Structure 1
């Protein structure tokens, strides 16, 4: 079952979904193999809850982690650009 879940996760990594975003986020920090096992565990938990509660799976979207703490994400990218030698001034975007 572990090998089957790992193969499923390798396929998921090439999609534009929450689980793919989770994989890429974890792979940067922990490595590809550990990230695959972590996402396989998440997939198993999702399958369990879908079967137990008899409710369809609701996709959170690939940008779920960016929306968790937008201020932290904003500070990270500003700091990163400043480290690269850019002066950064943020202004809110005008929505038409």
Structure 2
């Protein structure tokens, strides 16, 4: 479903802005600039996954987040 959404979004953008398709690269979504809020949410989610797998993450969690 997500892939279909991305395809439709690309088509909409091309038709709306009258531009040709431009491939953003295979790792675009991995390195796409994100908001600080999104980065914090992602960090919490990844830490929760590590805890679920039994890792000790006490050294990874800052006492005073920047």
Q: TM-score range by the shorter chain?
A: 0.5 to 0.7
Report the counterpart of residue 82 of structure 1 in structure 2: 51
Which structure is higher in RCO with an 8 Å CA cutoff and minimum separation 6?
1
C-alpha spacing 1:36/1:72, structure 2 compared with 1 (3 Å)? closer
Q: How many residue pairs are counted as aligned between the two chains? A: 52
Per the normalisation by structure 1, the TM-score is 0.42
RMSD: 2.7
Deviations 1:25-71 (A, max 9, x none): xxxxxxxxx233212211111102331xx6xx7x5x32227x24100
Can you give the 5+ residue segments of structure 1 that lack an aligned partner in the other structure? Answer: 1-33
> Relative to total residues, which structure has the larger helix share, 1 or 2?
1
Q: Please identify runs of 4+ aligned residues in structure 1 that moved more than 4 A.
A: none
Can you give the 5+ residue segments of structure 2 that lack an aligned partner in the other structure? Answer: none
